[in-house]
Amino acid sequence: MRTDENSRVCGLCIKDWVLASEIEADGQVRECVICGTRRRTWSLAFASKRVHEVLEERYRPGDCDFAGEQDGEPLTAVIAEILGEIDDRLAESIADYVIDNFNGDPRDPDPPAWDAFDSYVEVPGFDVVGHAHDLWEEYLRSLKSGSRFFNDDARKFLADLFYDIDELQTWAHGVENRQVIHELPVGTAIYRARIAGAETIERIALAPGRELHAAPPDRCNPGRMNVERTPAFYGSFDPQTCVAELRPALSTKVCYAQFRTTRPLCMLDFARLERSYNVKLSFFQDDFDKRAVFFALLRRLHTLIQAPVRPGEEHEYLATQVLAEYLATVHRPRVDGLVFGSVQHAGGRNIVLFGSVLGKFLSGNGWTDSPLELTPDSVRIMSVEKVEYKTTEPLPLGSVCRQSEFEQNT
């Protein structure tokens, strides 16, 4: 679509939230050339100049291989990436303006900077992943050298990390706009298992709802998302995963049961987070690089929190324990628990409910006012007959060097 100097575009069609807010603040009420609606607009020329500023700073023509194939994306695709999922006509109009007005003197023998037939890549420079790695390592150091839960550096890091997490959305299985923080419906089935010796089996038989629920505070060991004497309910969404998470030895007996949720629960889903996109991340915001780093780290958190810890090394859970404490007590909107993938059972999903939503534990009665209810006749017992192992490719001993936790999991 070709346009002229009188063409106008509105904030709703621009999509980018920073430019849209600027248009709403100082734009003139005119008809938008894209949607045809009269509302506050900028001239297409001015909008194109703003886009060109980003293009000039962050993009360059892609390199060509021996076959003449050029790396990168067409100019219109890059413009759509900068602004969001804009109308193709708007991307083409901005590309036309950039090509016509920002290529210098046409008599210049050098090739034009911007061309409809070229592809473009981001300029190497700011290492987002590297900075994300540094941030995570700094967070770990601050926890190991300072107070765990009254650490100003860790608290600020987590506040920055989760600043706009309620804005994040994901696509999956053809479903658009699924929130990363979402409500777990009433009646959701959750499975929990315990390794069961003879005495444990007797106790479970007498009071399965108490014995298969979260451990009471005085018997609560530290875990991935809780410190000692702070309860948390760890479960899975299928029996196979909840059994695998125990890592039982051969011939071990395992009991499991199904619980169902009795009220809505607000969950942060790390599997969704890994596939998320940020509608509030704009090339035009002053702190774009900082927010891009935190977003890159957010998307890697799923891998970091999944990392298994060997028995006896529970102190390695420190980073995730503090993270969970922050989400449970400080972050708004309130988060009742987390959903994350299983590394013990392919395709399985785990859930942890924080102690703040479990209710109160009474000796003899178990948990009261709990959001979980045991499903009648759901208790099952089994014996482990086979354990399978999966390893990495064998490497020469001399080629293995110590890596940071972040590097091992990215």
Predicted local confidence at residue 150, as pLDDT: 58
- Asked whether the predicted pLDDT for residue 336 surpasses 90, the reply is yes
CA distances from 113 to 50, 102, 108, 133, 401 (A): 16, 8, 11, 34, 44
Angle, alpha carbons 269-172-392 (nearest 5°) = 70
Q: Over the Cα atoms of the chain, what is R_g?
A: 27
pLDDT digits (tens, 9 = 90+) for 266-280: 999 998 998 887 767
Predicted local confidence at residue 208, as pLDDT: 95
User: Cα separation of 246 and 381, whole Å?
Assistant: 14
- Strand 73-74 to strand 169-172: parallel, antiparallel, or no bridges (unpaired)? unpaired
Predicted local confidence at residue 175, as pLDDT: 56
Q: What tokens does 299 get?
A: 């998307």
- Cross-strand bridge partners of residue 254: 195, 382
Average pLDDT of the residues in 42-66: 94
Segments of 210-302 assigned E as strands: 232-236, 253-261, 265-269, 276-277
User: Cα separation of 393 and 399, whole Å?
Assistant: 12
Task: Give the three-class secondary structure for 73.
Answer: strand
pLDDT digits (tens, 9 = 90+) for 372-396: 999 999 999 999 998 887 888 888 8
Predicted local confidence at residue 407, as pLDDT: 52
CA distances from 114 to 118, 140, 354 (A): 7, 44, 53
User: Cα separation of 52 and 83, whole Å?
Assistant: 12
| pLDDT above 90: percentage of residues in the chain | 61
